[in-house]
Structure 1
Amino acid sequence: MIKEFREFIARGNVMDMAVGIIIGAAFTAIVTSLVDDLINPIIGLITGGMDFTNMYVVMSGDVPAGASLQAARDSGAAVFAYGSFLMAVLNFLIVAWVVFLLVKAVNRAKEAAMGAEEKPAEEPAGPTQEELLAQIRDLLAAKG
């Protein structure tokens, strides 16, 4: 069993995955800061300082008017916290967009590096559709 575990750990995919997870965890802090410190204030400026995270509807229970979401939850009331959900969706979209841009940049860098090293030889062009049809016609004429 120890031998199998050693072989499992020695595989390149496991190490690549571990590096990816570590980099992902570090990247999460950057994206969280981007969202919290840069994008949310801009959204707040556009919406007139509206804080989406404290938007909720009381389903049951007594909550004082104007109470924060945390205060409503602490009072034991059942709340429908749609503002937190909207912010989670917005954060996800921002993270997805940033990851998309990073992957796109990495792919461009790989293509540029590959182009600088060696361009792959172009495959010779095959026969055109007309040439194939002419060959088929000639074969059928030879059989007939």
Structure 2
Amino acid sequence: MLKGFKNFLMRGDVIVIAVGLVTALAFSTLIKAFTDYIINPIVARFQGRDSPGLGWQLGEEGNNATYLDIGQFISALIYFLVFLAVVYFLIVVPYKHYQARRGVTVFGEPGPVKTCPACLAEDIPEAATKCRYCTSQQPPASAHA
């Protein structure tokens, strides 16, 4: 049992995923600091001098629980977009390039699909002989076109 666990841990996929996760967490911390200390003050400035941020007070003045903070939402949206851009350009693009040099296509365009005549599922691979949802027989790819 321990030998199987060791083999699982030493697979290349697990190591790649672990490195990617650690890298993503490090970038997440960096980008969170960017949005908290650079973007949030800029967004809050648009509301005005005495306001806690860009938004509206829905209840009693000074009650943070009823403050609709649009600035924090904008900040979270910017954080999300910057984080995904960093992950894409610093992890996905180099990984695609590395795998292409090895002759492996990753993150490519999906293959052609067909619609199952029985259940109308639209994402059945064109070469499939059975539907993955209702298991009905599929016509051959050449007859479907």
Q: What TM-score, normalized by structure 2, do the two folds share?
A: 0.48
Max radius of gyration: which structure? 1
Higher helix share: 1
Q: What TM-score, normalized by structure 1, do the two folds share?
A: 0.48
